[in-house]
Amino acid sequence: MAPSLRRTPLAGVHAALGARMVPFAGWEMPVQYASILDEARTVRQAVGLFDLSHMGELHVSGPDGLAFLRHAVISDPATLGPGQAQYSMLCTEDGGVIDDLIVYRVEDGYWVVCNAANRDADVAHLRDLLARTGFDAVLDDRSDRTGLVAPQGPRAEQLLATLTDADLPALGYYHAARGSVAGTDCLIARTGYTGEDGFELFCDADRAVELWEAVRAAGEPFGLAPCGLGSRDILRLEAGMPLYGNELDREHNPYEANMGRVVKLDKGEFVGRDALADVARSGPQRRLVGLVMRDNAIARHGYPVEATGGASGVVTSGGPSPTLDERIAMAYLPAEAAAIGAAVEVVVRDRPYRAEQVKLPFYKRSR
């Protein structure tokens, strides 16, 4: 018998709004409320509201909390000032990606946000690592106690300014600060997964409904609409942001995914360092590339890609882009075949369709 799906604190809200719910990473989540493409346009033009309470939130503290994190992740949390955040990853000893994360430096330690699908594996990995290394650190899985509401879009700051006294203009991208939003204590993070400006509001799980309703009501004059996972996937694809299970997994390393900048080899020993140093020296065997379809077809996850000289690869993510009015995709190709402007063919239902390699990201906000 299949295990029952988890539900976020906002499950009742989604039902009342008529959301179409789907299984995702062991959770029942809203994929859309109305049109997926219209929801994506709303985020690009105004502000969309997402429930991300399925994400994992881990708190790391203790005398060796920082030293432990530096050993566990590929970035260097020691470079974070108070309230700063950085994109990072957990890797295996052979350099494969266990998960991608955001690490925040908060007043009482470090706040680590991980993917819902990997939360249990991440916690098990980190606890095992902590036991083996002997660092004097505390790992607290606060995921079930935490709600996460995310207004995303160019009008998100204007909207949030009506609900908080926090100095939002002074809160830079990939920064966070404690503050009250509509009477709810939050960690207000200027982060997101859409390629737009926006915020992620972490709160106690039992305040998530109250926070959501306050943000939604205040957002009406700003064109806010609730948005589901379908539009979020389109938005992150347009922004060239990798998705674990598509672009990232244990069979690929950060350099192949164009994330070599995240790897800090000079910080000392950490899990996967030797393998990643070898890749940095020799270069990755595969590269993640952007594709724009030149024939009338949509590339989907798992479709074969054929390049010149008999090289072959595979589509990791693909779909229509409402922002660019193009059919776009990301794919892994052998490194020697990865070249901006080069032609490839995507095999769709046994037929080849022309595509062109382009620079990632497909979309970058000008604001």
pLDDT at residue 58, rounded to an integer: 98
What does the pLDDT read at residue 1? 53
Question: Which residue ranges of the chain lie beneath pLDDT 70?
Answer: 1-2, 367
What CATH number is associated with residue 313? 2.40.30.110
Task: Provide the domain count of the chain.
Answer: 1
Angle between helix axes 36-45 and 229-238 (nearest 10 degrees) is 60
Q: Both tokens of residue 288?
A: 């993640």
- Closest to 61 in 3D by CA, of 123, 102, 105: 105
- What is the extent of the structural domain holding 347? 285-358
Cα–Cα nearest to 242, from 162, 330, 124, 168:
330
Within-domain flag for 9:
no
Q: What tens digit of pLDDT does each residue of 123-142 get?
A: 999 999 999 999 999 999 99
Tokens of 268: 């000392």
Q: How far apart are CA 365 and CA 367, in angstroms?
A: 6
pLDDT of residue 366: 80
Return the pLDDT at 279. Answer: 98
In a domain, residue 232? The reply is no
Question: Does residue 347 belong to any structural domain of this protein?
Answer: yes
> Does residue 220 fall inside a structural domain?
no
| pLDDT of amino acid 268 | 95
Check residue 266 and report its DSSP letter.
G
- CA distances 129 to 111, 199, 335, Å, are 18, 32, 33
- Model pLDDT for residues 69-117, shown as the tens digit of each residue: 999 999 999 999 999 999 999 999 999 999 999 999 999 999 999 999 9
Residue 352 counted as domain residue: yes
21, 228, 321 from 325: Cα distances, Å: 27, 20, 5
Q: Are 289 and 110 in contact (CB under 8 A)?
A: no
Residue 313 lies in a domain: yes
Residue 353 domain-assigned (yes or no): yes
What pLDDT sits at residue 57?
A: 98
- Contacts of residue 288, defined as CB under 8 A and 6 or more positions apart, other chains included, come to 242, 247, 256, 257, 258, 316, 330, 331, 332, 360
Q: Note whether residue 271 is domain-resident.
A: no
